[in-house]
Structure 1
Amino acid sequence: MINLFKSSIYMFISLFARLLTNVGIFFILAKFWNVQMFGEFMYYFTFTTLIVLFVDYGFSLKLVKDISTSPTDIKYLVSKAFGCKLFLTFILVLVQFLFLNELDNYLLFVVLLSSSIFNSFGLFFCLPFRAINDFKSESVVTSVSNMLLILFILLLMFIDFTALTVSIAFLAGRLLFLCMSISTYKKKIGPLKIRELMKLKRNRQILNELRSNFPYAVHFAAGTIYLQIDTMIMHTYLGDNGVGFYQASVRILMGALLLNDVLTNVVLPKLSANNENFDKIGENINRIFLGIGSLVSIILFVFAEQIINLLYGPNYHLTISLLKLSSILLIIKYMGGLYGVLLTVSNKQNIRVMAVLISITINVALNIVLIPKVGMKGAVVAAIVSSIVLNVIYMFVNINVNKSVFINKRYIVLIIFYCTVICLNYFYHLSLLASIAVTLITIIIILIIGTNNDEKNILFSYIKIKKMSSIKARRGA
């Protein structure tokens, strides 16, 4: 458990650095741009994010799982996957030149697309570190490159703060990230196996590799589309303004899901390497997912108005109700975090893909029906309903596969406590001081209920070790 905690710390640093660029930067853009300008930029940013899924092709799941299972074949596995990504990138570039050159702002689209491709390859070369539990190397690369990207954006605020110049800053930052990722990969693991790349061409192994990776690609793509397709539909009905208000809420939600991504990325390689300990590890991890999700969701619900005013200002008042509704979506996603990972580890990825496809079909259908009728809230309601369906499918499949739902008494008590706090805040409009008091009490209760004695001891001992190390460093200085 102590190794899991340390790995989570490094993964948190890595994902937090990405959070600053994928979320924090957009807070700045929304603050200084008007809603329409922000909405237009986010539309193209979302569009390119969806297109690059073709290049990502689910390697963040499949490659990590394969390397965790066979770490001695790491160079061979990475080289094969890299060859496939190059092939997919060539097809994507060709298609966009042939069919997407009549977009209203084609130059902005091309720059953002190039940026997303560089980012995809940069993340690709960080995946092996994640698979071999070298989260420290990944955290260093992502932290430095993303901090420099933020610096680029901040400098532009004093020079030429337009959509095109910001997209160029993204391009430069992502290219730097790719260079640092390749350099670190060569230093830690070694160069790519060129022979394996040649074999892919001669023996037509690219098609075989793509075929074996297809279920993971569909799942990864469906998962991202699930979070982004509503923006594309919303743009059709509500235009740039609707996208601007909605994306302001989505960016906060993405930031709040950071810890969910941390746990998922840390748990996947560990369970892949130790799949006989599902029952022992699963129950504890599932409770941790719920405890963290409950706390983050309550904070977003209780302080929605303060958060929106602080990050965006009064012009985004329509986003407050969206954020409160999104906090319910957040807890549902945390509750389903472990079950999806277990299906991947149990080699039931095909079932996971089918579940996600069913969920995304429901999501798209509800978006088309609800957005024209109830506006932006319709997209959040659609996401909540489809997420519940997905979690239910995951749970039933895990009962059949792993013979357990990984739920104990502490888990049930946490759910009851969460629902109680949300209902109190919904029916009784608390003052700011009362809300702060309720949140502090919530943190204490979640720590008591959500962690067992061993986990408390690990947490406190880790804090103590870090504190002692800091004291020794000061004395040495």
Structure 2
Amino acid sequence: MSKIDRDYIFSFLSIAARTVGGLTVFIANARIFGPEQFGVLMSWFAVAAFLAILPNFGVVPVILRDCAKAIDGGFRIVSDLLNVKLCLTAATVPFAILLSAILPDGVVFGLLSATHIADTYIDFFLAVLRARGKFRYEAVSYSIYSALSLIFIILVGYLSTSLELVALSFFLSRLAFAIVLMARVTQLYEDKFRLLPIRRSLFLAKSHAGYLIDLGLQSAMVNLDSTILRIVAGPYSVGLYQAGTKIAYGFCTAIGVISNVMIPRNSRRFSEGDRIGVIKSITWGFLSVGLALGVTNYGVMTLLMPKVYGDHFSSIIVLAPILSAFLVARFIASGFGIILVLANEARARILALSVSVAVLVCGCAWLGARYGAVGAAATLLASTLVTAGLMLVAVNQTRLSSVCR
């Protein structure tokens, strides 16, 4: 078995552990709280995600792309970006505290905000491990973490039907894993991480502003629909909608399996001129996997999920064809997005996502108010198709430019 094959397997095991663990937690909470309270929890989960945009600032693809090419293993890159994260986290925390004091369910919102921020550090350190080829360590550590956090969070939910305690269990489990990963990353480098002056960190943040905007738009694509649906249709519709989309997004994590290996492996090949070959392999790879998982998603949502979620969620069957089509479109768009990352075409990604977010906001406000969860799902599909179409145009321009050379 080649090293690339092993990397794919370990990456799959890692993301499978993350997906199964996370999905099981959300299903358990849905059964415990029912559509109404589950909708409240998930709507605040979606709103809190926006506060994590700044500390995250979208540089995971940069780490995967650049650290794999760096002679020193990317220590300078990792050190600089970690300083930026710390600086932006310090700027975000006061806003989280202020909003927690103002908003209803403020404690839940504050804890979920802290959960999302801790998640950004988990993603950051995992990206470093992948770039250094430590896929096996990631798979083992994430499997152990997922099992332990799964037991912890579900136990808290069953013992106490308090949204505050469930939110606290989310945060504590993420924080513990982030600390473990940080310790492992520091062992990879002989040099020690040092704090940079704030001015230097802000300068670095500004140089990566394109990735921050890209991430913000991606976050809007994932979380705005539930936020708007809560306003126009209420938490019950959010609960049904999230119950369906969690399944589809669970399958979407296969995107990470492919991209975690594909970006580092194709970065040098793409930069050395084999653009057309890379574009073909990525496009067909994502399309074939997307079609297979779209069919699987339809079967799972129609045959299995109504029994797993319980009678209160039986109506999610009507979302199955829409969300299955969304899944295929999402894979196609993600393949094009990876090509644009390799081509360093952040502007094209931002343009595509900006138009898609506009479609999502307008469509969800209109169709969500009229048709509830079904309208929101239809809007999600439409906005994803717009993303795929606009990115296809940009990828085609990239291909033509390589031919002209």
- Cα distance, 1:327 vs. partner? 0.3
Give the match's secondary structure for 1:125. helix
Aligned to 1:403: 400
1:386 aligns with 2:391: no
Aligned to 2:153: 153
Aligned pair partner of 1:322 in 312, 319, 331: 319
In the alignment, the residues of structure 2 paired with residue 34 and residue 74 of structure 1 have an alpha-carbon distance, to the nearest angstrom, of 47
Where does the alignment leave 5 or more consecutive residues of structure 2 unmatched? none
Contact 1:23 1:251 (C-alpha < 8 Å) held by counterparts? yes
1:177 aligns with 2:149: no
- Cα distance, 1:247 vs. partner? 0.5
Aligned pair partner of 2:356 in 356, 359, 362: 359
- Cα distance, 1:372 vs. partner? 1.4
Summarize the Cα distance change of 1:338–1:233 in structure 2 as closer, same or farther, 3 Å threshold: same
In the alignment, the residues of structure 1 paired with residue 191 and residue 307 of structure 2 have an alpha-carbon distance, to the nearest angstrom, of 46
1:251 aligns with 2:251: no
In the alignment, the residues of structure 2 paired with residue 27 and residue 191 of structure 1 have an alpha-carbon distance, to the nearest angstrom, of 43
Contact 2:12 2:257 (C-alpha < 8 Å) held by counterparts? yes
Give the match's secondary structure for 1:28. helix
Aligned to 2:269: 274
Deviation larger for 242-251 or 163-172? 163-172
- Cα distance, 1:312 vs. partner? 0.4
* Equivalent residues in 2 for 1:43-122, closer than 5 Å: 43-72=43-72, 74-122=74-122
In the alignment, the residues of structure 2 paired with residue 98 and residue 168 of structure 1 have an alpha-carbon distance, to the nearest angstrom, of 18
In the alignment, the residues of structure 2 paired with residue 159 and residue 372 of structure 1 have an alpha-carbon distance, to the nearest angstrom, of 36
Aligned pair partner of 2:212 in 211, 217, 223: 217
Where does the alignment leave 5 or more consecutive residues of structure 1 unmatched? 406-477
Contact 1:301 1:324 (C-alpha < 8 Å) held by counterparts? yes
In the alignment, the residues of structure 2 paired with residue 157 and residue 220 of structure 1 have an alpha-carbon distance, to the nearest angstrom, of 31
Summarize the Cα distance change of 1:292–1:266 in structure 2 as closer, same or farther, 3 Å threshold: same
Q: Give the aligned residue type for 1:74.
A: G
In the alignment, the residues of structure 2 paired with residue 71 and residue 247 of structure 1 have an alpha-carbon distance, to the nearest angstrom, of 44
Contact 1:71 1:132 (C-alpha < 8 Å) held by counterparts? no
Summarize the Cα distance change of 1:145–1:239 in structure 2 as closer, same or farther, 3 Å threshold: same
Aligned pair partner of 1:296 in 282, 293, 298: 293
Aligned to 2:228: 233
Q: Percent identity?
A: 22
- Cα distance, 1:166 vs. partner? 1.6
* Equivalent residues in 2 for 1:369-380, closer than 5 Å: 369-380=366-377
Aligned pair partner of 1:307 in 298, 304, 309: 304
- Cα distance, 1:162 vs. partner? 2.5
- Using structure 1 for the length normalisation, give the TM-score: 0.79
**How many aligned positions are there?**
400
Deviations 1:77-131 (A, max 9, x none): 1111111111111111112233441211111122222222222212212211122
Give the match's secondary structure for 1:193. coil
Larger CA Rg, structure 1 vs 2:
1
- Cα distance, 1:188 vs. partner? 2.6
Contact 1:112 1:167 (C-alpha < 8 Å) held by counterparts? yes
Contact 2:336 2:395 (C-alpha < 8 Å) held by counterparts? yes
Deviation larger for 105-114 or 131-140? 131-140
Contact 1:111 1:167 (C-alpha < 8 Å) held by counterparts? yes
Give the match's secondary structure for 2:274. helix
Q: Give the aligned residue type for 2:6.
A: K
In the alignment, the residues of structure 1 paired with residue 69 and residue 314 of structure 2 have an alpha-carbon distance, to the nearest angstrom, of 49
Aligned to 2:336: 339
Q: Give the aligned residue type for 1:373.
A: R
- Cα distance, 1:175 vs. partner? 1.5
In the alignment, the residues of structure 2 paired with residue 158 and residue 42 of structure 1 have an alpha-carbon distance, to the nearest angstrom, of 18
Deviations 1:153-199 (A, max 9, x none): 233255324222222211221121111101211223346421xx23x
* Equivalent residues in 2 for 1:446-457, closer than 5 Å: none
Contact 2:100 2:107 (C-alpha < 8 Å) held by counterparts? no
Give the match's secondary structure for 1:70. coil
- Cα distance, 1:303 vs. partner? 4.6
- Cα distance, 1:36 vs. partner? 0.9
In the alignment, the residues of structure 2 paired with residue 32 and residue 229 of structure 1 have an alpha-carbon distance, to the nearest angstrom, of 25
Q: Give the aligned residue type for 2:301.
A: A
In the alignment, the residues of structure 1 paired with residue 249 and residue 190 of structure 2 have an alpha-carbon distance, to the nearest angstrom, of 34
In the alignment, the residues of structure 1 paired with residue 73 and residue 203 of structure 2 have an alpha-carbon distance, to the nearest angstrom, of 18
Aligned to 1:260: 255
Deviation larger for 213-222 or 184-193? 184-193
Bigger relative CO (Cα 8 Å, ≥ 6 apart): 2
Give the match's secondary structure for 1:72. coil
Summarize the Cα distance change of 1:253–1:191 in structure 2 as closer, same or farther, 3 Å threshold: farther
- Cα distance, 1:2 vs. partner? 4.1
Summarize the Cα distance change of 1:334–1:161 in structure 2 as closer, same or farther, 3 Å threshold: same
- Cα distance, 1:70 vs. partner? 2.0
Q: Give the aligned residue type for 2:66.
A: D
Give the match's secondary structure for 1:268. helix
Query: Deviation above 6 Å: which 4+ runs of structure 1?
Result: none
Deviations 1:24-51 (A, max 9, x none): 2101111222211111111111121222
Contact 2:244 2:319 (C-alpha < 8 Å) held by counterparts? yes
Contact 2:73 2:132 (C-alpha < 8 Å) held by counterparts? no
- Cα distance, 1:11 vs. partner? 1.2
- Using structure 2 for the length normalisation, give the TM-score: 0.93
